[in-house]
Amino acid sequence: MRQDDERGGPSAPLPPFHDDLVAAQAELWRLLADGVAHGRSPFHTPSLATVDGQGRPRARTVVLRMVDAEAGLLRFHCDRRSDKAAELARHASCALHAYDRQAKVQIRIEGRASLHTFDATAEAAWAGSRAMSRVCYGIDPRPGTGLAAGGAYAVPDEAEAPTVGRPNFCAVAVEAEALDFLYLDRRGHRRAAWRRERDGWTGTWLVP
């Protein structure tokens, strides 16, 4: 860890979660919820890692749409014709990662994804989506198709999105199974991790 990535001069108070495992997990969920609400937060756009059919890792950016700290759930949206949807349908294990340079916090989440296309979860997520987001799901041909020219694809207008885009819309719920929280401070980095057990989260401090 580089020196300029570390905050905490001698006079700056240590954050309340510095030596409090419960508070550290609360901070993790608070930062994720802030990421859902605010596009400026790095936690708004985490990297999602999946595993492809050959067991190779694949990563890309997604927009974090919802977190539920009580249930340990996160949600993002994608096109059900996309590679990531196919990879998650085949192999539900996935990971989300983001680093907030201002907060000096890295969050890593491992869990299992479930794809929602035509159930109540998907309907509610579609209803809560903005028109400019909805049109993306009507893109033709499917995401990842090779093109003869960069612009040789079509996007529906907003009026068509409910009929053209809705069938391709997929809400992905990730049930977190493991959480990893790293806070950088030159007076002492702190790393905490939790695993989901039958009765809730079991956490421990780790060597950073």
Ligand X SMILES: Cc1cc2nc3c(=O)[nH]c(=O)nc-3n(C[C@H](O)[C@H](O)[C@H](O)COP(=O)(O)O)c2cc1C
**Smallest distance from the beta carbon of 186 to ligand X, in angstroms?**
31
42 DSSP 8-state letter: G
Which range binds ligand X by CB under 6 A, 56-64, 119-127, 160-168, 187-195? 56-64
Distant-in-sequence contacts of 71-74, Cβ < 8 A, 24+ apart = 71/175, 72/111, 72/175, 72/176, 72/196, 72/201, 73/173, 73/174, 73/175, 73/176, 74/32, 74/109, 74/111, 74/173, 74/174, 74/176
Report if residue 83 touches ligand X, rule: CB under 6 A.
yes
Integer Cα distance of 65 and 72 in angstroms: 14
Among 7, 23, 51, 82, binds ligand X (CB under 6 A): 82
Integer Cα distance of 152 and 141 in angstroms: 9
Report if residue 142 touches ligand X, rule: CB under 6 A.
no
Site for ligand X in 169-198 (CB under 6 A): none
Which range binds ligand X by CB under 6 A, 11-19, 71-79, 176-184, 186-194? 71-79
Report if residue 42 touches ligand X, rule: CB under 6 A.
no
Among 42, 143, 162, 167, binds ligand X (CB under 6 A): 143
Report if residue 62 touches ligand X, rule: CB under 6 A.
yes
CB neighbours of 139 closer than 8 A, spacing ≥ 6? Answer: 79, 153, 154, 155
- Farthest CA pair distance, the chain: 59
Report if residue 80 touches ligand X, rule: CB under 6 A.
no
Among 16, 53, 128, 144, binds ligand X (CB under 6 A): 144
> Footprint of ligand X on this chain (CB under 6 A)?
45, 58, 60-63, 76-79, 82-84, 143-144
